Structure 1
Amino acid sequence: MDCGVPRELLDDLTAEFDSLRALVPSGTNLRRPTPAAGWDVGASVSHLIGCDLLAEEAVGDPGEFRRARPAMDVGLAELLEGHITARQDLPVEQLRQEWADAFAALLRAFTSSRRGQKVPWFGPPMSPATLATARLMEYFAHGQDVADALKIVRRPTDRLRHVCHLGFVTFEFSFANRGLPVPPSPPRVELRLPSGRSWARGPEGADAVVTGDALDFALVVTQRKHRLDTSLTCRGEVAEQWLAIAQCFAGPPGPGAGG
């Protein structure tokens, strides 16, 4: 049986987990506030643990996931808040152990997944590979919050290409999620990865174009930074509109890039 997640993607997801967990060693002050309003370091880690466990269930036991999950517009916020509340008093070593256990379970589920499988999630079902990409994106985004809280500058890697891919393919979602008409065609996106390699998506010769640094694009589509605070350049009204509302994560509309 062919695994539903490419080995390269599993390796990159694991590396993203390892790099973030290394930022939260024993002795870390979990109450340090992050740039995400109302979230501290412990809340960020607890959220990742809870979502890893949900993703493991969605892949490994989709029937139970469908039965137990709340409607996205009613109970999702309460569910996610519960992940944080349940772990808010845990010492850092216990939190780290739960984190390692949850991620190991998630990897086992992804490794046992199969090509062609459709995984239920909060929104349309997706392939195991897409869900793995979404988990990597969340590790990047919340990892940025934790790094900022601890005043650590992370060295970017070409793992950003997965976040950029998710940012691009959620172009239509970013508009539809806000009840806005979806433009007929996405912009061309041309980025420079940390290694210096080029990365591009979208129609060549498009009227709307986004160019710049992959890290900046990833921070904008995860709503960690406003486009105007980056080196990204936009050509065309559609590109400007998109980067103002770009959202590559599930759920109701966020406040906007850097909001």
Structure 2
Amino acid sequence: MDGICDDLEAETDALGDVIEDLSEAQWRLPTPAAGWDSRDTMIHLGMTDWVATAAVADPERFEDIKASAARGETELHSAAGIDFAPMSGAQIWEWLRAERAKMLEAVRPLGNKDRIGWFGPSMGARSFVTARLMETWSHGHDVADTHGRVLPRTQRLRHVAHIGVSTRGWSYANRGREVPSDPVRVELAAPNGDLWTWGPLEAVNVVRGDAYDFCLAVTQRRHHTETTLSLTGPLATEWMDIAQAFAGPATDAASRRAA
């Protein structure tokens, strides 16, 4: 667990470098995520960490929080006892950092496969933290894009790419579509020059390209046609058209962007 927790800390630091000198006016600029500015993005990340800590440390309390979440964002914020309205962007960031530290402190002692209750099925502890890293990276891109800044391309992308590959079936099921039985092979060039691969070598359908581009596509920060990914076979294209590495209603890269 220490390795993935250390990587999440590093990803958080990278996001901090992007936002450390934003003015209050910049904090309120709309991001590519429809309806969200940079403040909203940090509130979302921090609230998820707050809930995650409860899920690990106090499962009974988590069930109450889950009920609040079902009633809406306002109810959830009330459950946390936080009024974000008077807070500056910088103050929200410091609050997020504190919530993330609490969450990491709660999960570090767990085993990789210890189960944590969540909004859908329970998750293994390592997968749970990996999902937090993926979400930090993807939402961090919304903020970086807003302000013309760049997140570093690191080996931590493997975590995001792995979730992207693992959620191929979810991308279909979430749309009420049958999951194809034929495999898709994925071959990605890592930031350090390594080749990351998933799926059988003999697969007819293949996704090839840069790991960074693949991560952008599966988190719907870019449509695959806006990347350098090379797709071979109809199932590779079909998957990339609907790829969704995160939970929630079915969306696509175009619909999640601001008008």
TM-score (norm 1): 0.90
Q: What percent of counterpart residues are identical?
A: 40
Name the residue aligned to 2:147. 150
Query: Could you list the per-position Cα deviations for residues 115-136 of structure 1 after superposition, in whole angstroms to 9, with x for gaps in the alignment?
Result: 4421111211110100100000
Q: Does 1:225 align with 2:222?
A: yes
Name the residue aligned to 1:14. 9
Q: 8 Å contact 1:118–1:125 — kept in the other structure? A: yes
Q: Does 1:246 align with 2:228?
A: no
Query: Aligned residue pairs: how many?
Result: 251
2-side partners of 1:80 and 1:244: how far apart? 33
2-side partners of 1:140 and 1:76: how far apart? 25
Structure 1 unaligned spans of 5+ = none
2-side partners of 1:233 and 1:81: how far apart? 43
1-side partners of 2:144 and 2:128: how far apart? 24
Query: What displacement does 1:114 show?
Result: 3.0
1:178 to 157, 168, 175: 175
Letter in 1 for 2:16: R
User: Secondary structure of 2:142's partner?
Assistant: helix
Query: What displacement does 1:257 show?
Result: 3.0
1:257 to 247, 253, 257: 253
2-side partners of 1:165 and 1:76: how far apart? 31
Structure 2 unaligned spans of 5+ = none
Letter in 1 for 2:18: L
Name the residue aligned to 2:41. 44
User: Secondary structure of 1:257's partner?
Assistant: coil
Counterparts of residues 116-155 of structure 1 (less than 5 Å): 116-155=113-152
Name the residue aligned to 1:213. 210
2-side partners of 1:160 and 1:80: how far apart? 31
Letter in 2 for 1:51: T
Q: 8 Å contact 1:222–1:247 — kept in the other structure? A: yes
Q: Does 1:55 align with 2:52?
A: yes
Instruction: Check 1:252–1:50 CA distance in 2 against 1; reply closer, same or farther (3 A cut).
Output: same
Alpha-carbon RMSD across the aligned residues, in angstroms, is: 2.1
Query: What displacement does 1:186 show?
Result: 3.1
2-side partners of 1:213 and 1:93: how far apart? 34
Letter in 2 for 1:199: W
